[in-house]
A and B are shown apart, each in its own frame.
Chain A
Amino acid sequence: MSGPHLHTGVAGNPRSPIHRLDPRTKLIGLAGVTFVVVTTPLPAWPVYLACALALATVATLAGVSPRTLWSRAKVVLPLVLFVAVFVPFFRGGEQLDLGPVHVSKEGLETFATVSVKALLGTLSAVLLGATTSFPDVLHALERLKAPKLLVLIAAFMYRYLFTIVDEVQRMRAALAARGYAPKHALQVQAIGRVATALFLRTYERAERVHLAMLARGWRQTMPRLDTLAYTRADALFLAALATPLLAIRVLL
């Protein structure tokens, strides 16, 4: 896995000004954009446009291509949009006739704005993930006083996800190698057994990891070797992002 990106998920130019920002800055800045988008009243289109422009600028500076953004956003978006898609059919008010179905005009507008909110929110999260490695995001959360236990759980999830996925794949291969190909519902019980075995293995691993941590003098908190540095570039980034967005949001 050699290449410019040692961390899974980071895309674009790793030496861009955006990638080099303090992860706290990016977390606050991009969460801020999402906050502005979400709290904006429905028909305030100029605010959405300003947020979209801000995200596009950040993406361009970071060298993250629209294709990368889209390929990642499309994993999450259908789930988010699924909820909104029914709104036009159940809203009252002025109805539009579309052949066999009637939709509410007001509902359609709601659907459009909710979709835009979802799209912008997702894109800013994707952009954070593409410019900041997951360990850095965790480090930022920790420094911003997020609950330590949650950060720790997320860190272990990231570390062991790959190990567990490997185990699942080996177990699936072992099932297939012995001719397992379920044809009806009664045959899926083997999958239940796999899940049980996986749970037990993971549990045992957790105990061993705990022992290994104690053996190296663990003191209930994760020690950090690197410190984060908040520089002028970070202040500039936050100001450049926040000022126009807040101005438009407040003035309109």
Chain B
Amino acid sequence: MSCAIHARDLRFTYPNGVTGLAGLDLRITHGERVAVLGPNGAGKTTLMLHLNALLTGSGELEVAGLRDGHDDVRDLRARVGLIFQDPDDQLFMPTVREDVAFGPLNLGLSKPEVQDRVTRALTAVRMDAHGERAPHQLSLGQRRRVAIASVLAMDPSLLVLDEPSANLDPRTRRELIETLDQIDRTLLIVTHDLPLAAALCERAVLLSGGRIVADRPTLDLLADEPLLAAHDLELPDGFDLRLMSR
């Protein structure tokens, strides 16, 4: 299969002069699960927005077989699903069902096909009983699962999640990890939650100052304490990497 993501010397500077990406090189193949780790301001969100052409910098970027700046952004957005950190930003329709249907309807699919996809996506995240609810009536964990469904319904080949476990209680977090573990797509997970990265991703890249400074198997990278410390990262107290057998 083709490369899911192929970035070469990707650079982006925000209008206010802040550097987002400073020559990023990244190659991710189809079916991989990769964690993107890094301190605040490392450029993680900037990278994520590039993958959907919501920001465009200089350099080369090919995502899901489409070249950024050359091919149709609509195709790109159909193939790459972004799941934003705050589900309230992602869920803007009056009901859960309408929200999950938003993406597939934009793709121009027929109504029965959309209905079918909505049902499958909501079942995949175990939210099928809540279709008629308004997003504000759901808990944070439920809203996050619906946000995942809203992107799954578009049937993307690559799924990008921004801090999926932020502000979740331990049980909801575990359930979310189980849900994500069952998704059979190329996954890119941007996170501070190192144990989550260890549980879901076989490979991890460390992003710092707008470039990739380490790219290794997740357990190797997390075992390198001096490297983590140099980039403001650390494992939670009492977390034992040796117990994470894969």
Name the residue of chain B whose CB is nearest to the CB of A223: B105
Option from A6, A208, A215, A225 in Cβ contact (under 8 Å) with B134: A6
In this assembly, does A102 line the interface, its C-beta being within 8 Å of a C-beta of chain B?
no
In this assembly, does A218 line the interface, its C-beta being within 8 Å of a C-beta of chain B?
yes
Beta-carbon contact of B94 and A219 below 8 Å:
no
Closest beta carbon of chain A to B156's beta carbon, Å: 10
Question: Which B residues are in CB contact (< 8 Å) with A180?
Answer: none
- Complex interface: stretch among B83-91, B175-183, B203-211: B83-91
Question: Which B residues are in CB contact (< 8 Å) with A138?
Answer: 94
Cα A226 to Cα B118 in complex, Å, equals 13
Closest beta carbon of chain A to B109's beta carbon, Å: 10
The answer to whether residues A216 and B95 also contact, given A8-B134, A208-B89, A211-B49 and a CB cut-off of 8 A, is no
A 203-242 contacts with B by CB, 8 A? 205, 208-209, 211-219, 223-227
| B interface SS class | helix
Total number of residue pairs linking A and B with CB closer than 8 Å: 86
Closest beta carbon of chain A to B113's beta carbon, Å: 11
In this assembly, does A1 line the interface, its C-beta being within 8 Å of a C-beta of chain B?
yes
In this assembly, does A135 line the interface, its C-beta being within 8 Å of a C-beta of chain B?
yes
Beta-carbon contact of B151 and A216 below 8 Å:
yes
Contact bitstring A126-144, B, C-beta under 8 A = 1, else 0 = 0000000011001000000
Question: Which B residues are in CB contact (< 8 Å) with A214?
Answer: 52, 54, 77
In this assembly, does B133 line the interface, its C-beta being within 8 Å of a C-beta of chain A?
yes
In this assembly, does B106 line the interface, its C-beta being within 8 Å of a C-beta of chain A?
yes
| A interface SS class | helix
Beta-carbon contact of B94 and A135 below 8 Å:
yes
Beta-carbon contact of A216 and B94 below 8 Å:
no
Name the residue of chain B whose CB is nearest to the CB of A214: B54
Beta-carbon contact of A212 and B106 below 8 Å:
no
Beta-carbon contact of B54 and A217 below 8 Å:
no
A 139-182 contacts with B by CB, 8 A? 155-156, 158-160, 162-163
Between B93, B101, B132, the greatest number of chain A beta carbons within 10 A of the residue's beta carbon is seen for B93
Question: Which A residues are in CB contact (< 8 Å) with B216?
Answer: none
Question: Which A residues are in CB contact (< 8 Å) with B92?
Answer: 156, 159-160, 209, 212-213
Closest beta carbon of chain A to B111's beta carbon, Å: 7
Residues of A within 8 A of B (CB): 1, 6-8, 134-135, 138, 155-156, 158-160, 162-163, 205, 208-209, 211-219, 223-227
